[in-house]
Structure 1
Amino acid sequence: MRKDYYARFDGIVLFTRKYRENDLLIKIFTKEFGKRMFFIRNVQRANNGLREIAFPYLRANFVGRINDKGFSFLSDVGERHFPKTTIQNIEANAYAAYMVGLTDAAFEDFIPEDTLFDLLWQGLEKIEGGVDPTVVANIFEIQILPKFGVTPNFVSCAICGETQGNFDYSMKYAGVLCERHFHMDERRLHWSRRASYFIRMFSQIPYAKLGTVSLGQQTKSELRKALDMLYEEYVGIHLKSHHFISQMESFINPLDDKQEKTYDNS
């Protein structure tokens, strides 16, 4: 039996899409009802107040009619957080697009995912607040892996449980190996020390405790290579937003590591 009902809900705009001549579809990740496609009629009209929310990455409190099947409908919007900085900065925009793309691919529509909702909300908030979008996106793509059915052990050695020292990743053991057990997997991924260090850190740190992070381009390149290995092996999706990031990064010399690494988790 189909159920339609009005509700107030928090939501994140994932993307917008033109529908017919004057109408618009907006996909919103709602905290209470999962991902839903909302229909807005005559969006081009000057007196249509919903024009103001037709931007990806916008976070707001909405009022609308939720339909269990097909399109849902918006009737009003309350407090909103407009992603001005994210939209205007090409790098911030690219990584935000990657994060919402991963969100859309990670689970089916109509399914509530409040933990992931909070993760995406806080991540977009960090990008809008000026935190390095590369770092924010790295944390997000590591912590969203369980939604793809993947739960790597980044915390301790898969053989002995060691948590200190140098680590590398093993597909064979679905987790990290400490240096004493590198020999257990000849096909380990040979992550750099820096990539291993930050992936292990990023797998555990909540955005709320993320202080000042500044990574050199070489470190970012090593992280990108390591995470791409994981996604290619475990997830196997190829998003346009990721391809754009790869193209964007190709214009940066990965050997130019003039900026020193700093991390302040205060």
Structure 2
Amino acid sequence: MAEAAIDFTGIVVSRQNFREHDALVRFLTSQYGFKTFIARGLKRPKAKLAGVTLPFTLGDYVGVVRAAGLSQLRTAKGTQLFRQPMENIVTNAYATYIFDLIRAAFPEGQAIPRWYDIGKAVLLGMDRGLDPAILANIVEIQLLPAFGVAPQLRVCAICGRDDRPMDYSEGAGGLICNRHWAQEPYRFHASAKAIYYLRRFSVVNINQVQSINVNVQTKAELRTIIDRIYSDTVGTYPRSKRFIDSLGQWNQDFKPLKPRNASNGEQSK
């Protein structure tokens, strides 16, 4: 008996060749989390699915969704390709890294509707010209609990105060106020600006971010701090992170393509 095809909504996060004429297309779906589909005949000339399965395409698709093994992609009903991740090498690198990191946190087939929404919001923000490095920082911080790490980033982890200068301490499990700095010789000695952004990143809704203006020095410090948190507590990074690291100063001086809706008054830097 033939398996029934169903509708699903998803974001294409990767595509790779498979056998002579086929390809594997991985989606982050709103209903089923990450799912990998075989797209038969995708590598043939004029394949109908070729243009609607490019990475960072959002759309409504039809396919056979299986609980285990490869699902099967049939057709697409309507799609939207995000321009910035496709045409800007820095944005592409960060988009790839963000979805790789989400995938590292959750097994294939686990429904993660919140992270589907965040992934979609990230791509929409990138298409408006928002700085992908800061969008990645927000995802990294908010994803920590999924890796079993939940640093205290709202108040002092020791006394609960939130009205004094703060620093980050892995030993204390998050932020500590200056009353306790002498007790933590391995605190990060982070700047006030970096701590401010760490706290904001832990609670901000990406859908509500209208502009990003973080100077190069603070961006570099945030990258160092978050890398250290991940290295010491999570212990893993996707391979795509290595490419971002190789970009060096290029990604610190990110300049987006002209946003499609530049006339609406939003700014990014």
**With structure 2 as the length reference, what TM-score do the two structures score?**
0.88
Secondary structure at the aligned position of 1:199 is classed as helix
2:154 aligned counterpart, secondary structure: coil
* 1:53, distance to aligned residue in structure 2 (A): 2.2
- Map 1:7-22 → 2, pairs under 5 A: 7-22=6-21
1:76 aligns with 2:59: no
For the 8 Å contact 2:153–2:199, the answer to whether it is kept is yes
Paired position in structure 2 for 1:258: none
Instruction: Label 1:58 to 1:200 Cα distance change in 2 as closer, same or farther (>3 A).
Output: same
Alignment of 1:1-266 (within 5 A): 5-250=4-249
1:238 to partner: Cα distance: 2.9
Q: Secondary structure at the match of 2:219?
A: helix
2-structure distance, mates of 1:131, 1:118: 17
Cα deviation, residue 6, structure 1:
2.7
Query: Structure 1 residues 131 and 20 mapped into 2: Cα distance closer, same or farther (>3 Å)?
Result: same
**Using CA pairs below 8 Å that are at least 6 residues apart, which structure has the higher relative contact order?**
2
- CA offsets 1:54-84 (integer angstroms, 9 cap, x no match): 2222111211111112111112212322022
1:5–1:67 Cα contact (<8 Å) kept: no
- Root-mean-square deviation over aligned CA pairs: 2.1
C-alpha deviation, 1:251, in angstroms: 5.2
Deviation at 1:166, TM superposition (A): 2.1
Aligned-partner Cα distance in 2 for 1:99–1:57 = 12
Give the direction of change, closer, same or farther, for the CA distance of 1:250–1:131 in structure 2 (3 Å limit).
closer
Distance in structure 1 (CA, Å) of the matches to 2:251 and 2:87: 20
- SS of equivalent residue, structure 2 residue 14: strand
Q: Structure 1 residue 200: deviation in Å? A: 0.8
For residues 76-131 of structure 1, the C-alpha deviation after alignment (integer angstroms, 9 at most, x for no partner) is 21232202221111111111111011012111111111111111111111112211
Amino acid at match of 1:36: K
Aligned residue for 1:168, secondary structure, equals strand
Please give the alpha-carbon distance, in whole angstroms, between the structure 2 residues aligned to 1:45 and 1:229: 45
**Which amino acid letter does the alignment assign opposite residue 88 of structure 2?**
N
Cα offset, 1:209, TM superposition? 1.9
Q: 1:180 to 1:82 in 2, by over 3 A?
A: same
The residue type equivalent to 1:42 in the other structure is G
What runs of 5+ residues in structure 1 fail to find an aligned partner? 255-263
Q: Any conservation in 2 of the 1:95–1:133 contact (CA below 8 Å)?
A: yes
Q: Helix, strand or coil: the match of 1:112?
A: coil
Who is 1:261 aligned against? Answer: none
Q: Is the 8 A contact 1:231 1:237 kept in 2?
A: yes
Is contact 1:4–1:66 with CA below 8 Å preserved after alignment? no
CA distance in 1, matches of 2:158, 2:133: 31
For the Cα contact (< 8 Å) 2:104–2:238, is it kept in 1?
no
Q: TM-score, normalised by structure 1?
A: 0.89
Distance 2:232 2:77 in 1: 42
The total of aligned residue pairs comes to 254
CA distance in 1, matches of 2:248, 2:46: 41
In the TM superposition, what is the alpha-carbon distance from 1:253 to its structure 2 partner?
Answer: 8.1
Distance in 2 (alpha carbons) for counterparts of 1:250 and 1:193: 23
- What are the Cα deviations for residues 235-258 of structure 1, in whole angstroms up to 9, with x where unaligned? 11132221111111245789xxxx
Distance in 2, matches of 1:252 and 1:87, equals 16
Match in the other structure for 1:260:
none
Whether the 8 Å contact between 1:61 and 1:77 is mirrored in structure 2 is yes
Q: Taking structure 1 as reference, are residues 253 and 19 closer, same or farther at Cα in structure 2, changes over 3 Å only? A: closer
Q: Confirm or deny: 8 A CA contact 2:90 2:251 kept in the other structure.
A: no
Distance 1:76 1:129 in 2: 28
Question: Helix, strand or coil: the match of 1:214?
Answer: coil
Q: Contact between 1:4 and 1:67, CA under 8 Å: does it hold in 2? A: no
How far does residue 4 in structure 1 lie from its aligned partner after superposition? 5.2
- The answer to whether the 8 A contact 2:105-2:147 is kept is yes
Corresponding letter in the other structure for 1:82: L
Q: Return the alpha-carbon distance in structure 1 between the equivalents of residues 155 and 138 of structure 2.
A: 18
Separation in 1, partners of 2:205, 2:77:
27
**Partner-residue secondary structure (3-state), 1:78:** strand
